[in-house]
Amino acid sequence: MDLLNTLVDKGLRRELPTREEALAVLATSDDDVLDVVAAAGRVRRQWFGRRVKLNYLVNLKSGLCPEDCSYCSQRLGSTAGILKYTWLKPEEASQAAAAGLAGGAKRVCLVASGRGPTDRDVDRVAGTIKAIKDQNEGVEVCACLGLLSDGQAERLREAGADAYNHNLNTSEGTYGEITTTHTYADRVDTVQKAHAAGLSACSGLIAGMGESDEDLVDVVFSLRELDPDSVPVNFLIPVEGTPLAKEWNLTPQRCLRILAMVRFVCPDVEVRIAGGREVHLRTMQPLALHLANSIFLGDYLTTEGQAGKADLEMIADAGFEVEGAGQVTLPEHRVTAGGGCGSHDGGGCGSHDGGGCGSHGDTGCGSHEGGGVCGSVPAAAPAPAAAAAPAAATAATVGEARTDLVAVRRRGAGTDLAPNA
């Protein structure tokens, strides 16, 4: 296929595809999905070999967010039956992080629900970072706390944070349909603050909220312009009790095409499969490793993930290897250019759980179930309209509701039960 040959050549040269080429990837048929994966896999292997970076989420403060992000189970007013608790003590957070690190994770993502941290919150997180780093030499720490005020990114950097996650989530043109309590520009500003402070910037998206192909390409091109070290790709987890609980718009093939498009547009960046991979990729998760070079291990912020042992077996069975603590995540040209955490610890941030640090799992501040700042939409707020998508794309992407695959997290941080790692 001429399109794929062109995109591979551009990816190996780090050249930006055209919008038309990116849209064409999303428009390929299910019959061609293996060809798309193989092509994007060549680009992935050029810059990251067969390494898979493992990241681990710690939800420092869960629920009761004042923001109205429609995808998020932690928003104020959410009726989702999630865990709700205030700040974990540094020793509790360090203990939670240790489980993920023992499972092979090299990065810990510290997430807290809310619009953004107060200065006192920054002090709290600084203490948690110190506790984790005192116990685990060489660990990378990414913070995901919402919208940053002036000077806070610098304070987090001084406290030992390596990266900061704040997702754009969707296109600027449709952002107001997802969230009304802050703006797309607010999110961009926070990513720029993190970058300017010398933190490795981590920013990604959530797919499956009823957006069009054009929206997906818009947000990924915007991310390319922001130049984060890490781009987490979250797939909406439709949690009961949120405005988007009925949005089941994804198939495994659609998810693979989205990941391939992100890889072609951001060829040398850490692309992370974040929240929702178990729900929407399902048995096709191993194929996604040919596109992304990073995943979250274990559970997400408010929802459960695949068993950590199963993640490790999947990586090995697919012929990949877990990235070691001594290996640098990013390609040399990004490291020498001073890419934040990628320049000294080797990696970008991101997870979805929907939410937290790059993950959607329900997303707290930047994770999936939201990403970036946490929040949810009040009942009267408009949900994104699937009608915005082209008819052909909509017909091809509607998936079967698999509510049986969505389980609220009842273990790990905020509970007395052992975490999944």
Cβ burial 204-222 (10 Å sphere, 16+ → b, else e) = bbbbbbbbbbbbbbbbbbb
202 classed as catalytic: yes
272 classed as catalytic: yes
Catalytic residue among 124, 272, 277, 334: 272
72 classed as catalytic: yes
CB atoms within 10 A of CB 418: 9
Domains detected in the chain = 2-405 (3.20.20.70)
Catalytic residue among 65, 266, 341, 357: 65
- The per-residue pLDDT for range 20-54, each reduced to its tens digit, is 999 999 999 999 999 999 999 999 999 999 999 99
109 classed as catalytic: yes
374 classed as catalytic: no
255 classed as catalytic: no
44 classed as catalytic: no
Rg, the chain, Cα only? 19
Q: pLDDT tens, position by position, for the chain (421 residues)?
A: 899 999 999 999 999 999 999 999 999 999 999 999 999 999 999 999 999 999 999 999 988 888 889 898 887 778 878 888 999 999 999 999 999 999 999 999 999 989 999 999 999 999 999 999 999 989 999 999 999 999 999 999 999 999 999 999 999 999 999 999 999 999 999 999 999 999 999 999 999 999 999 999 999 999 999 999 999 999 999 988 888 999 999 999 999 999 999 999 999 999 999 999 999 999 999 999 999 999 999 999 888 999 999 999 999 999 999 999 899 999 999 988 765 443 334 333 333 334 444 555 554 454 444 333 333 333 333 333 333 334 334 434 467 899 999 998 999 999 999 998 8
Contacting residues for 360 by C-beta, under 8 A, at least 6 apart: 71, 206, 234, 235, 236, 237, 274, 275, 276, 300, 352, 353, 354, 367, 368, 369, 370, 371
